Structure 1
Amino acid sequence: MGANSGEAVEVGTDVVVIGAGPGGICTAIQLRQAGIEDVVVLEKSAGVGGTWFNNRYPGLSCDVPTDLYSYSFFLDHEWERPFATRAEIVEYLEAAVDRFGVRDAIRLDTHVVSARWDDESARWTIVDSRGGRWIARVLVGAVGMFNEHVVPAIPGLDTFTGPVTHTAEWPDADLGFLAGRRVSVVGTAASATQVVPTIAPHTGHLTVFQRTSNWVFPKDHGRYTEEDKRSRRVDRSVVEAGRAQAARELDELFADLNNEAKTAEQAAKALANLDTVRDPAVREALRPTAQLGAQRPLLSSEFYEAFNRPDVTLVTSPITEVTANGIRTADGREHPADHIVLATGYHAHRFLSVVDVVGRGGTALRDQWAEGAYAYLGMTVENFPNLFMLYGPNTNGGSIIDKLETQARYIVGKTVYVLKNDVRAMEVRPEVVAAYNAQVQADIGAVRAWQVEGSRYYRAPSGRVVTQCPYTVVEYDRMTREDDLAAFTVTLADPS
């Protein structure tokens, strides 16, 4: 089975994984290591890496230390920086695919549009955009959170005469096309903190439109020296120590958002970073107003510095409309622009429902999740037998790679049980899902920072917090190691 697909086909297999990002790759590796060879990974893009392959915007890099953004079973890769760039992460994931022998399982340029469960055959039928059909006993959704980008509903956006580029659709090209142009960036969150300082030197003038100020922590933008690389190469404990330290720091930063002393200590680090802005008025406008933890934390030691440039302007008056030649704000001013960049993020609350998934009795996943996505352990939901998810509802937080490894281990364990015991259907019990999610929402409700208005990034349109996990990575891992077979209704092929 090659890494590139051809014409429409129908293929039967034990397991189909949707998505060849970090989670899908990890799952394929663990499935093969568990002795399950009949695995197909369907990836809509032309390469592996998921969001890291698809996003190309200038300055894109990881905001988790490289040592922690690595698989625990693949720590000897030679990284260039403490915080890897997009290109380095894609290179790492390509290396993982080859080292652990799963490239033959991956089908690139295969965009899954639907998946339907059939009770009679106890199989999932997965259909791609070219009409290819994949029949599987177990379906694993590894599409993550970042699939559909947000285009803001700004009046007149379609009347702008210049180019409008969302950061998720940035062209794979150098920055020469921005030379001498008046560029407007809408947004000051995750992608903007990386785009703004990277493109500022290449524009004629850069105007940044801020709706909400954010907490931006300092970040090491340097590279490893040759001596650093040598010591990391010859002594694995150096990398392991860096990984452990990064995990501790991440937990210390966000594990207890109700601890006022701890959050004040962390907030001081972000505010010291803000002090690099020389203009007092600009500095005050960038000062975060939401409680620490209410928004996604950001890392950059270059973002604030960009506002010290004479050719960078911050605008905080709300946008009222886009005109043919610029952006008008509530104060009546029109800000001329030749190019608009939308740094407005993703619909992070949809998860696997970006695919038309239909389970038992014709139940559509997007309908079942109408009030907000939920799942048992963030991985499986009633009415959808033999279906599991990675980076699903309420699993965001902490080291995502560690969490993906935890989820892959759990899913592989359940998949082995299904295949080795000739199980037709394994479906989590409704009362188990309900009880688990009632507890999750109660624990989320106890985190004060997630109850304020600034926490909209974490919420479905209904208002339910659907992205955040109220447990540490260690606590969550422990929960997934409990014997929970009784949480499922198991139907055997031969009941006798």
Structure 2
Amino acid sequence: MSRDAGRDAPAAVRPDHEVIVVGAGFGGIGTGIALQRKGIHDFVIVDKWDRVGGTWHANTYPGVAVDIPSFIYSFSYEQRGDWSRIFAPGAELREYAEHMVDKYGLRDRLRLNTTVTGAEFDDRNSLWRLTTDGGHHLTARHVVLAIGGLERPKMPDIPGLNDFGGTLVHTAMWDHDVSLRGKRVAVIGTGATALQLIPAIVDDTEHLTVFQRTPIWVFPKNDAEVGRLGRQVLGRKGIRSALRAVGNVGTEIAMSGQVAGPAWLTEAGRKAAEIPIRRWMRSQVDDPVLREKLTPRYGLGCKRPSMSNDYLKTFNRSDVSLVTDSIERVTERGVVTADGAEHEIDVLICATGFKLWDKGAIPPFPVRGRNGKDLEKFWDEHRYQSYQGVSVPGFPNAFTITGPYGFVLGSYIWMIEATSAHLARAIAESKRRGATEIEIRQEVHDEYFRRCLQRQEKNFLFTPVCEGSNTYYIDNNGDSPFRPSTHGEMYWQNRHFNLDVYRYTTGAPAPSEVAVLSEEAS
């Protein structure tokens, strides 16, 4: 080859980093730690927020707290005994995230206030190119989407919503400058967030109106302050681990067991559990008409239940109204329901959750794999699917923390530990083999997806038991992209899968052909 020909040939590119992790919530933090444990240190974690914590940084509405006991909702390798309550408030989860970042040396790897707007696989150079809102470009051999499911707030699709003349707030974008004192306040939604919010704000409002589409199963919340003695007890690793084990087993049976256990057993268990819970719920509400409106008709477990000792009692107050007529439109002065009544309000709060499985909601920015394959389009046309919730064929060197069929109902932290261990193991093996590309084999992925769909056939979510539940457990394709599995199975399979389920391609360029791209390159 002539000197001129060599000069004209395009140079191969060495990426800025081995791995870019998108998201600095618990998913991103857990991924960083998992990578380090596999000897992978050339990575950065980017996030749109100015602090770590993800959903726990974004959600600061009154009453926000974890709804799984704190000694379970924490990393197994970083258990704490100094929580202020059994169900810690959101601020302590944010502090826990900051502590993790500092203890595990992740602070210098953070790129905060950086919103990723697109990711595209460079076929020629076997790397990912990410674009940010500042017009900058980042490159990495591998990319991990640790964005989380509670990422994009979902505003209700109600005519006239933007015409409201008062204050409009979504719980995931809480405005602490807005005072509710002496105001007529309305809350749309009665899910897990509303259960925490409503009792926390009712004393401030002049009148509180709650618009309910679907009632929710409510458990009593065995919450308490963790005093000095409690901290001493939980400070002992053996006792803390034993309590954690008991809590894990209970959560396994109550949640993942409902979708993974044998139908005859889960059906019997569900019906047996409904009786005392329904009895307790009814005992909390004085008015018999309200009592019926607040009691679900669908089965227990069809949508995520929640816990509160105050929520149902709130409706015994004369300054609280429950409205179950459907909302027809929002006006400048308030909310008009199907019965023609206009409910005049000053502040409208939307506790309407997130775009979890909505069409076009995930991923939250364009992701294009091999030959420009679009991830959103692929999922839209072929149903949500991924291997172990981590990998999708056609997207080499790309991994997710919360992919379809990866999350087992229960503690989000368990899933993070399992899927981050999976991807870190895969990336480390790719490096060991000297490969520039790693991609899940199509036949392996298809078999996993087939097994998940097969298990779903026994799932009570698709039976008349769940009619009218409006559950987010079901996506827009009519599937349930949660892994129909126990936590034990998820944990084991993500750590002990055959490494050859992935295809490794070796084609690293010679050092003389490498041109280095800086992070500031555009």
Question: 1:160-216: per-residue Cα shift (whole Å, max 9, x none)?
Answer: 11111111111134x7x1111111101101111111111111100000000011111
C-alpha separation in 2, matches of 1:97 and 1:322:
44
Q: Which residue of 2 aligns with 1:197?
A: 199
| Pick aligned residue for 1:439 from 451, 456, 478 | 451
CA RMSD of the aligned region, Å?
A: 1.8
* Amino acid paired to 1:71: F
Residue 19 (1) aligns with residue 23 (2): yes
Q: Distance in 2 between matches of 1:144 and 1:400?
A: 10
1:31 pairs with 2:42: no
Cα distance in 1 for partners of 2:417, 2:307 equals 24
- Alignment match, 2:460: 448
Amino acid at match of 1:236: K
More deviation in 477-486 or 398-407? 477-486
User: Which whole-Å CA distance do the structure 2 matches of 1:269 and 1:95 have between them?
Assistant: 40
SS in structure 2 at match of 1:194: helix
When residues 339 and 172 of structure 1 are mapped into structure 2, their CA distance, relative to the original with a 3 A threshold, is closer
Matches within 5 A, 1:326-365: 326-349=334-357, 352-365=362-375
Decide which of 290, 303, 309 is 1:282's aligned counterpart: 290
**Contact 2:406 2:419 (8 Å CA) reproduced:** no
Q: Secondary structure at the match of 1:245?
A: helix
Deviation of the 1:426 alpha carbon:
0.9
Query: Which one-letter code corresponds to 1:429 in the other structure?
Result: R
The answer to whether the 8 A contact 2:216-2:295 is kept is: yes
CA distance in 2, matches of 1:123, 1:255: 37
Give distance in 2, aligned partners of 1:481 and 1:34. Answer: 12
Check conservation: 2:15, 2:141, Cα contact below 8 A. Answer: no
- 1:245-276 CA-to-partner distances (Å, cap 9, x unmatched) read 21111112123334223112332343244121
Aligned twin of 1:183: 185
Q: Deviations over 1:41-60 (max 9, x none)?
A: 00110100011101111111
3-state DSSP of counterpart to 2:472: helix
Q: Deviations over 1:386-433 (max 9, x none)?
A: 111102212331222122111111111011112232211111122222
- What number of residue pairs does the alignment pair up? 482
Q: 1:329 to 1:352 in 2, by over 3 A?
A: closer
| Structure 1 outlier segments of 4+, above 3 Å | 450-453
Q: Which residue of 2 aligns with 1:46?
A: 50
1:427-460 Cα deviation digits (max 9, x unpaired): 1122222221121122122111344442541233
Return 10-19 or 222-231, whichever deviates more: 10-19
Is residue 94 of structure 1 aligned with residue 98 of structure 2?
yes
Unpaired segments of 5 or more residues in structure 2? 1-13, 510-522
Q: Alpha-carbon deviation of 1:129?
A: 0.7
Partner of 1:75: 79
Aligned to 1:313: 321
Aligned residue runs from structure 1 range 96-495, under 5 A: 96-173=100-177, 177-233=179-235, 235-257=236-258, 258=263, 259-274=266-281, 275-349=283-357, 352-371=362-381, 372-396=383-407, 397-451=409-463, 452-453=466-467, 454-466=469-481, 468-493=482-507
* Equivalent residue letter for 1:204: E
Tell me, yes or no, if the aligned pair for 1:273 and 1:301 is still in contact at 8 Å: no
Once residues 376 and 67 of structure 1 are traced to their aligned partners in structure 2, the CA distance between those partners, rounded to angstroms, is 29
Deviations 1:204-245 (A, max 9, x none): 000000001111112133211111112222x21221122112
Which stretch of the first structure deviates more once superposed, 255-264 or 195-204? 255-264
Q: Secondary structure at the match of 1:178?
A: coil
Letter in 2 for 1:464: D
CA contact (8 A) 2:184 2:347 kept: yes
Paired with 1:118 and 1:11, the residues of 2 have a C-alpha distance of 11
- Secondary structure of the residue that 1:388 maps to in structure 2? strand
Q: Whole-Å Cα distance in 1 between the matches of residues 311 and 451 of structure 2?
A: 38
* 1:370 shift after superposition: 0.7
Larger deviation: 443-452 or 416-425? 443-452
CA contact (8 A) 2:127 2:142 kept: yes
CA offsets 1:13-56 (integer angstroms, 9 cap, x no match): 00100001111101101212222111100011010001110111
- Residue type of the alignment partner of 1:242: L
Q: 1: distance between equivalents of 2:247 and 2:329? A: 43
Aligned partners of 1:22 and 1:210: how far apart in 2? Answer: 31
* Overall identity of the aligned pairs, in %: 35
Q: For 1:456 and 1:232, how far apart are their aligned partners in 2? A: 36
Secondary structure of the equivalent of 1:183? strand
Structure 1 unaligned blocks of 5 or more? 1-9
For 2:374, the aligned partner's letter is A
Per-residue deviation, 1:489: 2.1
* TM-score under structure 2 length normalisation: 0.89
The SS at the match of 1:137 is strand
- TM-score, normalising length from structure 1? 0.93
Q: Deviation at 1:378?
A: 0.9
Do the aligned partners of 2:257 and 2:486 also contact (CA within 8 Å) in 1? no
Paired residue type of 1:417: E
Distance 1:124 1:494 in 2: 15
Query: What residue identity is the alignment partner of 2:478?
Result: G
CA-CA distance at 1:75 after TM superposition: 1.1
Cα deviation code 1:340-364 (max 9, x no counterpart): 1111111112675112111001111
Tell me, in whole angstroms, the C-alpha distance in 1 between the residues paired with 2:497 and 2:188. Answer: 48
Output the amino acid matched with 1:489: R
